[in-house]
A and B are shown apart, each in its own frame.
Chain A
Amino acid sequence: MKNGNKRWFAVFVGPTFIAFCIAFLVPFIMGLYLSFCEFRTVSDAQFVGLQNYIRAFSENSDFLNSLWFTVKFAIASVISINVIAFLLALLLTRGIRGTNLFRTVFFMPNLIGGIVLGYIWQLIINGILYNYGYSITSNATFGYWGLVVLMSWQMIGYMMIIYIAGIQNIPTAILEAARVDGAGPFRTLRSIIIPSVMPSITICLFLTITNSFKLFDQNLALTAGAPSKQTQMVALDIYNTFYGRVGYEGVGQAKAVVFFVLVAVVALLQLYLTRSREVEN
């Protein structure tokens, strides 16, 4: 049996592993190398050392501005998505009529692509703001809240499903025991439900934090950074640096590497913090 497994290992893992190398590992290593190079197209690179990293921070404040904007956005959207998704999950596990219908409806926005969603929300928000003689680019605050609303609308359904799965896994015996012991709904929530769904919270926080930082399509479609790059998030800034001007390809690449390290650190820190609070049933 052991030999059989080994023989099949290559067949089953092989294709995926090759795909992983072509689509992820090779571009990643190339990208890391290119961030130390001056280049026009990826095939004509010249090594220049740390210069790109220095230029990324020193030439203008675009990168830091967009980083700050991204952090503000991530905080607001992570809170709104997780709080609303958790409340919806609580509501839709109480066996009320039409539960399945509601679950489907809330999940559906997640099936639409980011660019399409961005344009849909641009139409909706502009449709409202036109009445007052504004548009979404009139003010960076509109763009900021527009992005938060859009992101929440898209992600809440997905996170809700994860929370529902977590809540349904709580053994009814524990809940009944709590009730018999005289715990009210809030006490049950605080002492039983939240500790029991900690694994779901870990995964949901991880997904929302990384997705909020990496947001690109929605940003491009909704505001494209207007007015004056004030609603430009890091991913869009990297794209604009790389493609928007000749001679800045390496700088864009350096920004991308800095961004990768930053997201990795934040995500790992979050995983460590929430993991330590998980309990075994």
Chain B
Amino acid sequence: MSKKIISLILCVICIVTLFTGCGEGKTADIYFLNFKPESADAYKEIAEKYEEETGVAVKVVTAAANTYEQTLKSEIAKSSAPTIFQVNGPIGYQSWKDYCLNIENSNFAKLLSDDTLAIRDESGNGIYAVPYVVEGYGIIYNDAIMQKYFKLSDRATAINSADEIKNFDTLKAVVEDMTAHKSELQIDGVFASTSLSSGEDWRWQTHLLNVPLYYELSANDDYADPTIAGLNAKEVAFRYATNYRNLFDLYINNSLTEKGVLGSKSTSDSMAEFALGKVAMVQNGNWAWSQIKDVKGNTVAESDIKFLPLYTGVEGEERQGLCIGTENYLAINKNATAEQQQKSLDFLYWLFSSDTGKDYVTNKLGFVTPFNSFTEQELPSDPLAREVVRYMNDESKQTVPWIFTSFPSDVFKTEVGGALLEYVQGNREWTDVENTVKSMWKSERE
């Protein structure tokens, strides 16, 4: 008898455990799939605060670095799909356009100070995705180390401060002389590791490649906007390939890391090297502030962190500014219920226009936004964001827009990254990198 009871209990346990996985728990009305891993904690706080104020639950899920498309693809097929998600510019919109709601008449979209920034459909109607942050990147440098260098009596360059670096030749002279004085400057190299491990090469195959292709595309007179020119370009000549190589070679030849091992380095490795004062420069954007700040044993003073534009030796680059733009656009899921859509829009409107929301945006997320609800005082206080704003407002500088949003596909970028890695490791020649850019652009555009 007791045996029967035991087997019955076992069966019940079997069935119960089988179905517990199906329980969903409380469903939130708003489901925000966040793209930025560095902002994950801030969004958690914001969601709690919003629920406290309004009683509407917000579920925030953050995709791990470089897995957003995968995460979105599997999440959006579920019955409780994200209501707010991100598309990365016009190319990203093309993949997700069947899921983007027209939000032209929402309060949130009306916050945009310049609505030409929004993503519209092919015929230029409606607003399907709204940019929410403006970011800038260039070479971040540690001014304390630079000043130490400019005090050296036996230095080979004539200039007296990093502000005077206005073109590639000066940059190259300074960097190479700094490498020669490494030990006096107490650094291991001038540049942080040129991270080329898989998924960590976006600073070179996307951000750095933006500069030479910007110069090429902006020379196209058929289009006023180089991004539109890029979207329509069937082929690129890669006319400024030498300039691309100039800066890339400078990075790898004056790095603290040997070329052969760059394939195993990640972006966080480079940011840690910079934060610990082992190197003087690193290429990255203002989002990297949280990575620099949070490194244990950080030796870089907030007032010493500055930006230099990405000089590559193009004629007239003395006027070139930082690369400033956005690839972060928010869209509302067309397939969500009308109630969810409205609640999601209300949440975004609250985040970018209420005092509490704006406080989180400037101080926790550290965003410079394109919205008219922010006054000039409401800008992030971190040094890199302030530098971006300074460059934006500097009339003598010409900002380089983010034309990489017009790059044909992620495969294009990955292939270029792979070619760069093989070039660095000496398995392939530089001409292979050039050919990869040209041939992959052509084949991926089709």
Contacts and interface: CB of A to CB of B under 8 A. Distances in A.
B422 A136 contact: no
Contacts of B411: 244-245
A249 B77 CA distance: 13
B15 A126 contact: no
B95 A246 contact: yes
B410 A244 contact: yes
Contacts of B199: 224
Contact of A11 (B11, B94, B198, B264): B11
Contacts, number: 88
A15 B260 contact: no
A40 B98 contact: yes
Interface stretch (B133-141, B213-221, B413-421): B413-421
A226 B410 contact: no
A16 B69 CA distance: 34
A227 B69 contact: no
A243 B71 CA distance: 9
B169 interface: no
A114 interface: no
Interface residues of B, number: 34
B73 A41 contact: yes
A55 to B, nearest CB: 13
B18 A19 contact: yes
B261 interface: yes
B70 A41 contact: no
A118 interface: no
Taking each of A133, A138, A243, which has the highest tally of chain B beta carbons within 10 Å of its own beta carbon?
A138
A16 B73 CA distance: 30
Interface in B1-46: 11, 14-15, 18
A134 B263 CA distance: 9
Nearest to B70: A243
Contacts of B427: 138-139, 227
B421 A133 contact: no
A75 to B, nearest CB: 25
B102 interface: no
Interface in A36-50: 40-44
A137 B76 contact: no
A51 interface: no
B391 to A, nearest CB: 34
B297 to A, nearest CB: 22
Contacts of A15: 11, 14-15, 18
A137 B258 contact: no
Interface in B383-424: 409-411, 414-415, 418-419, 421-422
Contacts of A44: 98
A135 interface: yes
B69 A137 contact: no
Contacts of A41: 73-74, 76-77
A40 B415 CA distance: 23
A18 B18 contact: yes
Contacts of B264: 122, 126, 135-137
A278 B82 CA distance: 56
Interface of B: 11, 14-15, 18, 69-70, 73-74, 76-77, 94-95, 98, 197-199, 258-264, 409-411, 414-415, 418-419, 421-422, 425, 427
Interface of A: 11-12, 15-16, 18-19, 40-44, 122, 126, 129-130, 132-139, 223-229, 243-247, 249
Given A11-B11, A133-B258, A138-B425, 11 more contacts: A15-B14, A16-B14, A40-B73, A41-B74, A42-B77, A44-B98, A130-B261, A134-B260, A137-B421, A226-B418, A227-B421
18 contacts: A12-B11, A126-B261, A133-B258, A133-B259, A133-B261, A135-B260, A136-B263, A137-B263, A138-B263, A224-B197, A224-B198, A226-B198, A227-B421, A227-B425, A228-B422, A243-B73, A244-B414, A247-B95
